[in-house]
Amino acid sequence: MFHSIRWRIAFPYILLILVAMLAIGLYLSNFIKQSYQSELETQLSTQAKMIGETLGTALLPGQIDPQQLDLAAQKWKPILNARVTLITLDGVVIGESDEDRTQMNNHSDRPEIIQALAEGRGSSVRFSHTVGYDMLYTAVLFPTPQEPAAIIRLAVPLDRVDANVQRLQSILLTATLIVMLLTIVLAAWIAGRTTRPVQQLTLAIRQMTASDLSEQAFSPAVDEVSQLTQAFNTMTVRLKDQFSALEAERAKLAAVLETMSDGLMIVNDQGMILLINPAAEKIFSLKNGESIGQPIAKALRHHQPYELWQRCQESGQIQQAAYDLNKRVSLHTTASPLGEALPGSTLLMVQDITRQRQIEAMRKDFISNVSHELRTPLAALKAITETLQDGALEDPPAARHFLERMETEVDALSLMVTELLELSRIESGRVPLEIKPTRPIDIIAPAYERLRLQAERAGLQLDIDCSETLPTVLADGMRLQQVLVNLIHNAIKFTPAGGRVLIKAEEANNKVRFQVQDTGIGISAEDLPRIFERFYKVDRARSTSGTGLGLAIARHMIEAHRGQIWVESEINKGSTFYFAIPQN
């Protein structure tokens, strides 16, 4: 019964009336208690003034006789049925009806005394441990607040006030019970009339749904709202099934669109964007959802996709085009009509082909560089062979000279093939690395010793700045020595006589940073981004020996150690090559 909506409606009203009655009872009890107390305070003030007028000059300074005042206080106690205390302005008790005043403390800190001194009359209520209930204390200045001489204080128990309040509370409790009974009856009757239409509506909905569903679901609850909800749920079962199927399909489509790396857009026959996936928004630098409903030309701000959509609309055929979105991004877009699925709409698929174009450009550069590097020694070998065939073999000194040149060119070809194979192995991850904790000084010192004499012959100063207390690094020491030798060799090669090459290692951000700094010819700003590419040589170095593979090998070797390599340089101010390896 109590689960019924009828009682859910009735209970709040019953509870509200109960709370209201209790609040009224508490308020009236407090009000009556305060009224009794206020009246009692007024009565005590009048009695205190009467005592003061009776005592007269006995309370004036110079005429105080404590023993006489004790007798006077004891005399007034049975007359007024109150405790009488006479106090000087500085809080000393000079007359007391109940206790030995000589054992009493100074009363200057009592709330009623403080208030009386400030306002002429003061009152306070305190619990008395002697009698076990609250006492009302009222103090009055004598003779007047303007010319006070002493304080007369009367105290009476508040048990009479409490008794009157208890009687009132009993009356209010009886009234509350009567009102509650009437309220329950009235609230139940009103709630019943209120819920009757809900019951009728529930019955009507069940009758409407019975013809469409093979079975009906009944709730064991007797709550009218629960029954109404179940009736609606039964009626909407089929709609929910359809919505669930549609939601599942929508979720699949959304997942595909979210995870696609290619951009996708659907544009209607008016050129408005109906759908766009995150990949397309990223490619064209659009905010999430801001382009929906906008014209394709305005949203993308590039004419190529718009022209491709326009050609697809005019021809009704698939259109494709590759173009540069900007200097850094290249795209390939396909426009396909959607036909009967979405009449008049077009699907645009956008692929980022920047990486493919970069790879193609690198492939062409690689072939060109290999051809260039191989052409020089092969041409020299052919010229030497032709010279020997033309009679140089008959001249032993000349033949020996040309054979030495042939050996030099063959060594250059062998070095190039070796470095190409090494680079191929590194890029494919087939180079085994013996990773172990290694001291930076054990990497730098062997490289320094290996090239020290070469630097002296070139007239250069080769120095080391590496503390032996630096943390160890996780590295293949021999491989990193090869990287350092390559960097130091380049520094010696491109630094004029009288210059300096510094090999340094220092701790930085949980890594050890190695650097090779020279005072050489430097590298231009446009060459810096490509300095680590295969076969790439700056113009100043075109005439020098070397394959152009050393820095590419160094870059891949450092990356295999989970490190980074970079260069800082200015023309005619020297270069500094850095690489950082994680600490052990």
Structure tokens at 38: 């206020």
CA distance to 251, 305, 337, per residue, from 341 (Å) = 19, 22, 10
Structure tokens at 160: 């009479």
Q: What pLDDT is stored for residue 539 in this prediction? A: 52
Q: What pLDDT is stored for residue 218 in this prediction? A: 47
Residues with Cβ < 8 Å from 225, sequence gap 6 or more?
5, 198
Beta strand ranges found along 376-521 (DSSP E): 436-438, 461-465, 473-475, 500-508, 511-518
**Structural domains in the chain, sorted by start:** 5-164 (3.30.450.20), 260-352 (3.30.450.20), 357-427 (1.10.287.130), 436-582 (3.30.565.10)
Supply φ then ψ for residue 544, to 5 degrees: -85, 165
Beta bridge partners of 273: 267
3-class state of residue 64 by DSSP: coil
Q: What pLDDT is stored for residue 70 in this prediction? A: 87
Span 51-82, pLDDT tens digits? 888 887 777 777 788 888 888 888 898 988 88
Checking if the pLDDT of 283 tops 90, the result is no
Span 335-386, pLDDT tens digits? 999 887 788 899 888 988 888 877 777 667 666 666 766 777 787 788 888 8
Q: What pLDDT is stored for residue 369 in this prediction? A: 65
**Nearest CA-CA partner of 152 in 283, 37, 51, 21:** 51
Flag the least confident range among 26-35, 64-73, 191-200, 318-327: 191-200
Flag the least confident range among 17-31, 208-222, 498-512: 208-222
Compute the average pLDDT of residues 155-162: 78
- Who wins on pLDDT, 469 or 232? 469
Query: Is this prediction's pTM over 0.85?
Result: no
Q: What pLDDT is stored for residue 538 in this prediction? A: 64
**Nearest CA-CA partner of 73 in 99, 50, 47, 97:** 97
Structure tokens at 402: 């040309």
Cα four-point dihedral sign 222, 226, 230, 231: positive
Q: How many CB atoms lie within 10 A of CB 387?
A: 15
Supply φ then ψ for residue 347, to 5 degrees: -100, 125
Q: What pLDDT is stored for residue 213 in this prediction? A: 41
Q: What pLDDT is stored for residue 412 in this prediction? A: 67
Packed helices 477-493 and 440-457: angle between N→C axes, nearest 10 degrees: 30
Q: Decide: 262 and 276 in contact? Cβ < 8 Å.
A: no
3-state secondary structure 161-183: HHHHHHHHHHHHHHHHHHHHHHH
Q: What pLDDT is stored for residue 447 in this prediction? A: 92
Q: Decide: 188 and 4 in contact? Cβ < 8 Å.
A: no
Q: Residues of the chain with pLDDT > 90: what percent?
A: 21
Checking if the pLDDT of 215 tops 50, the result is no
Compute the average pLDDT of residues 8-25: 75
Span 293-302, pLDDT tens digits? 888 888 888 8
Note the helical H segments in 260-353: 278-283, 296-300, 303-315
Compute the average pLDDT of residues 396-405: 79
3-class state of residue 151 by DSSP: strand
Compute the average pLDDT of residues 37-52: 86
Checking if the pLDDT of 211 tops 70, the result is no
Supply φ then ψ for residue 96, to 5 degrees: -150, 135
Q: Decide: 442 and 480 in contact? Cβ < 8 Å.
A: no
* Average per-residue pLDDT for the chain: 81
What distance lies between CA 561 and its chain's CA centroid?
Answer: 33
Q: What pLDDT is stored for residue 200 in this prediction? A: 59
Q: Specify whether the backbone of 139 is left (phi greater than 0), alpha (psi in -120 to 50) or beta.
A: beta
pLDDT band at residue 152 using 50, 70 and 90 as cut-offs = very high
Judged on CB neighbours under 10 Å (0-12, 13-18, 19+), 425 is middle
Flag the least confident range among 146-150, 172-176, 230-234: 230-234
pLDDT band at residue 217 using 50, 70 and 90 as cut-offs = very low
Checking if the pLDDT of 239 tops 80, the result is no
Q: What pLDDT is stored for residue 434 in this prediction? A: 86
Residues with Cβ < 8 Å from 261, sequence gap 6 or more?
279, 352
Q: What pLDDT is stored for residue 216 in this prediction? A: 45
Structure tokens at 141: 């200045």
Checking if the pLDDT of 228 tops 70, the result is no
**Nearest CA-CA partner of 376 in 555, 551, 537, 532:** 537
Compute the average pLDDT of residues 196-213: 57
Structure tokens at 443: 């990497």
Supply φ then ψ for residue 357, to 5 degrees: -65, -40
Q: Residues of the chain with pLDDT > 70: what percent?
A: 80
pLDDT band at residue 507 using 50, 70 and 90 as cut-offs = very high
Beta strand ranges found along 61-132 (DSSP E): 83-88, 93-96, 121-128
Q: What pLDDT is stored for residue 16 in this prediction? A: 79
- Tell me which long-range contacts 429-436 makes (C-beta under 8 A, separation of at least 24): 429/560, 431/479, 431/557, 431/560, 433/476, 433/479, 433/560, 433/561, 434/476, 434/478, 435/474, 435/475, 435/476, 435/561, 436/474, 436/475, 436/476, 436/477
Span 431-482, pLDDT tens digits? 678 889 999 999 999 999 989 999 999 999 999 999 999 999 999 998 899 8
| Most confidently modeled range among 101-115, 236-250, 505-519 | 505-519
